């Protein structure tokens, strides 16, 4: 079962070093996150998989890495200076600032100190707020010497269309793929990685003959759904939103948004697949009147290029249409983590210990029902969550941790007793595990010495670790800081597909001489263990890590 709440993912990411709030030591910077040792591996693996599928596994794609800073005119003719706006309102009482199109109520629902509440302030009239960040260029900051931080990577591709076309001699249809940073001055960054001010995009601009665009749009819709499924976000967890005409971006003839059902956040866009027509190449071209453009573009008096393609069959220069699959790395990573996350029972607890937890939970809920200090909403939410756990014990026991972290739970003294009953069971009978696709897992293999002071066992384990990581290119860690069971749990929680243990048999000092030169390999998902000869370890692991 995937994650039930975003808190589970946020807490795991912080606890284990996937993702940290940006600039935390100075109180943070809203809308920014840093990828820690495990996060950077996972992110790189997701991007590499996208690149392999879209660039290496196809015959019709080139790659690109364009500069983030571009001539300001790019953003004038792309339409972003004029239209990349959010409608913004201010609360006249608490001064909170909101997107007008996202407000459910006519009055403000914050406290004057901007916590959830009911400030009931009226809002100002909406006004447009451009979401592009500006930065000064050169030593003198003035109104003209600035550049924007790109709000999408796409324009770097359009600006290089002619360069790529002439240097690769590509024929239509073909695409250009790019992965890189994008920046948006979001009014309300929120929901962890979901809405941030600095993020990575994986974008393709796929250039096609006008008239073939609709068929290619369908092709890319299917190709992208297939890729999400291949990285662990199944088709049935994604809905397709055919964006209505009045919600389309200024460049789009039609857009399919792929919507993922994030826990706690709800159904939200993970990727957009737009038919951008001849809008962008046409917008950035000179001599537009001669180009038979179908899109309505602003007149361009600054471009030095005609971004056209010579169609040898029709003996004519034309402006290709563009299909654009554009995915956010952070949103993708979040969906992959949510799908992979599980809290599982490894062996059923003894019935009397379970009964004791059930009784502690019932007493806790009774106390919640009587408590008059918490808000009615907190009470209802605690009761709902608690009753759903009670109805599904022992499987739902791990949700006790979420229950005790909910607002209002700290007001109940019996929470301590519940934790005291539940924690030992959780430690002994449950595990948190990330069932990540092995090729995405941040760490591929963990190597443990059965005895951490035994010179030969330690040397063999370290040698295996070095070999796998340096020569076989698998991110491998060495850990000797606990009992084997505890080390397994630690690796399960970060999704490590295989744990290798070096023991006395490995070094020929065990009871069974036939096991000399072999190690135990434990599989994360099945928890089954196998003896594998050290000489065959690389091949054994490589075959499984391709999945
Ligand atoms: N070039 C087209 C484009 O940028 P978009 O729908 O605005 O289209 C594409 O963005 C993807 O980028 C989104 O589907 C989402 O995954 C990601 N994205 C956009 N804004 C984001 C933000 N503020 N934080 C995180 N990801 C974001």
445 lines ligand 1 (CB under 6 A): no
Q: Can you tell me the distance from the alpha carbon of 519 to that of 537, in angstroms, rounded to the nearest whole number? A: 9
Sequence-distant (≥ 6) Cβ neighbours of residue 121 within 8 angstroms:
91, 92, 93, 94, 96, 107, 108
pLDDT at position 107, please? Answer: 87
- Determine the straight-line distance between the first and last CA of the chain, rounded to whole angstroms: 20
| pLDDT value of position 488 | 96
Distance CA 376, CA 371 (A): 10
225 and 145 assigned to the same domain: no
Q: How high is the pLDDT of residue 485?
A: 92
Q: Is residue 30 part of a domain?
A: no
Q: How far is the CA of 273 from the centre of ligand 1 (A)?
A: 11
Please say if the pLDDT value at position 248 is more than 90. yes
- pLDDT on residue 510: 94
Number of structural domains, the chain? 4
Q: Are residues 198 and 271 in the same domain?
A: yes
320 and 355 assigned to the same domain: no
Q: What pLDDT does residue 111 have? A: 79
Same domain, 360 and 448: no
Q: Is the pLDDT of residue 115 over 80?
A: no
Q: Are residues 141 and 195 in the same domain?
A: no
Q: Is 514 a member of any domain?
A: yes
- The answer on 319 and 295 residing in a single domain is yes
Q: Both tokens of residue 101?
A: 């199109």
- pLDDT per residue as tens digits for the range 78-89: 999 999 998 899
Torsions phi, psi for 369 (to 5 deg): -60, -30
pTM of the model: 0.92
Kindly provide the residue ranges of all beta strands, DSSP E only, lying in 115-165, ordered along the sequence: 127-130, 134-136, 146-148
- The reply to whether ligand 1 has any atom less than 6 angstroms from the CB of 151 is no
Pairwise CA distance, residues 109 & 293, whole Å: 47
199 CB less than 6 Å from ligand 1? yes
Distance 450 CA to ligand 1 centre (A): 47
Structure tokens, 474: 């698998």
Q: Is there a single domain that holds both residue 235 and residue 262?
A: yes
- The pLDDT value recorded for residue 468 is 96
The verdict on 454 and 426 lying in the same domain is: no
Whether 353 is covered by a domain: the verdict is: yes
pLDDT digits (tens, 9 = 90+) for 295-353: 999 899 999 999 999 999 999 999 999 999 999 999 999 999 999 999 999 999 999 99
Per-residue pLDDT, 516: 97
Q: Residues 116-130: pLDDT tens digits?
A: 777 888 999 888 999
Instruction: Tell whether 386 and 526 lie within a shared domain.
Output: no
Q: What is the share, in percent, of the chain residues with pLDDT greater than 90?
A: 85
Same domain, 365 and 323: no
Residues 63 and 196 occupy one common structural domain: yes
Domain that holds residue 416: 348-432
Longest C-alpha distance within the chain, in Å? 86
Residue ending a domain, choose from 399, 432, 465: 432
Q: Which residues are annotated as a binding site for ATP?
A: 184-186, 194-199, 269-270, 328-331
Which of the listed residues 291, 311, 338 is the one where a domain comes to its end? Answer: 338
Q: pLDDT confidence of 108, banded at 50, 70, 90?
A: confident
Residue 237 forms part of a structural domain: yes
In this structure, the answer to whether residues 174 and 121 fall within a common structural domain is no
């Amino acid at each position: 079962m995937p994650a039930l709440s975003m808190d589970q993912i946020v807490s795991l990411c912080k606890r284990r070093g996937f993702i940290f709030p940006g600039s935390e030591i100075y109180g943070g910077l809203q809308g920014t996150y840093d990828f820690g040792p495990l996060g950077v591996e996972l992110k790189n693996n997701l991007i590499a998989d996208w690149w392999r599928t879209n660039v290496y596994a196809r015959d019709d794609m080139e790659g690109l890495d364009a500069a983030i800073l571009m001539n300001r005119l790019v953003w004038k003719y792309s339409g972003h200076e004029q239209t990349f706006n959010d409608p913004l309102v201010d609360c006249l009482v608490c001064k909170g600032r909101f997107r007008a199109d996202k407000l459910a109520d006519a009055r403000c629902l914050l406290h004057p100190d901007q916590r959830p509440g009911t400030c009931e302030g009226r809002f100002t009239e909406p006004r447009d707020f451009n979401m592009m960040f500006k930065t000064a260029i050169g030593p003198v900051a003035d109104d003209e010497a600035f550049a924007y931080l790109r709000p999408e990577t796409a324009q770097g591709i359009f600006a290089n269309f002619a360069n790529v076309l002439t240097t690769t001699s590509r024929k239509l249809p073909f695409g250009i793929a790019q992965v890189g940073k994008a920046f948006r001055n979001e009014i309300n960054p929120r929901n962890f990685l979901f809405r941030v001010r600095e993020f990575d995009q994986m974008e393709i601009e796929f250039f096609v003959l006008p008239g073939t665009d609709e068929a290619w749009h369908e092709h890319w819709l299917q190709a992208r759904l297939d890729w999400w499924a291949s990285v662990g976000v199944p088709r049935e967890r994604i809905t397709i939103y055919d964006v209505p005409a009045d919600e389309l971006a200024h460049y789009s003839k039609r857009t399919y948004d792929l919507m993922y059902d994030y826990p706690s956040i709800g159904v939200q866009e993970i990727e957009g697949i737009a038919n951008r027509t001849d809008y962008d190449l046409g917008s950035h071209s000179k001599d537009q009147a001669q180009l038979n453009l179908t899109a309505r573009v602003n007149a361009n008096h600054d471009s030095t290029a005609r971004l056209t393609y010579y169609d040898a069959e029709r003996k004519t220069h034309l402006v290709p249409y563009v299909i654009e699959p554009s995915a956010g790395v952070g949103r993708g990573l979040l969906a992959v983590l949510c799908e992979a996350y599980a809290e599982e029972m490894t062996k059923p607890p003894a019935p009397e210990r379970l009964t004791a937890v059930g009784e502690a939970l019932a007493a806790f809920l009774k106390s919640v029902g009587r408590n008059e200090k918490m808000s009615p909403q907190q009470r209802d939410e605690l009761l709902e969550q608690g009753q759903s756990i009670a109805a599904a014990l022992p499987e739902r026991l791990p949700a006790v941790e979420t229950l005790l972290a909910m607002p209002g739970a700290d007001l109940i003294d019996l929470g301590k007793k519940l934790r005291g009953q539940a924690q030992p069971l959780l430690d002994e009978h449950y595990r948190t595990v990330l069932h990540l696709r092995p090729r995405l897992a941040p760490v591929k293999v963990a190597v443990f010495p059965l005895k951490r002071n035994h010179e030969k066992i330690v040397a063999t384990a370290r040698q295996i670790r070095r070999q796998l990581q340096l020569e076989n290119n698998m991110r491998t860690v060495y850990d000797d800081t606990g009992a084997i069971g505890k080390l397994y749990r630690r690796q399960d929680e970060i999704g490590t597909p295989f744990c290798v243990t070096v023991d006395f048999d490995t070094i020929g000092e065990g009871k069974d001489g036939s096991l000399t030169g072999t190690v135990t390999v434990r599989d994360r998902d099945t928890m089954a263990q196998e003896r594998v000869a050290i000489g065959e370890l690389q091949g054994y692991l490589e075959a499984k890590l391709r999945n």
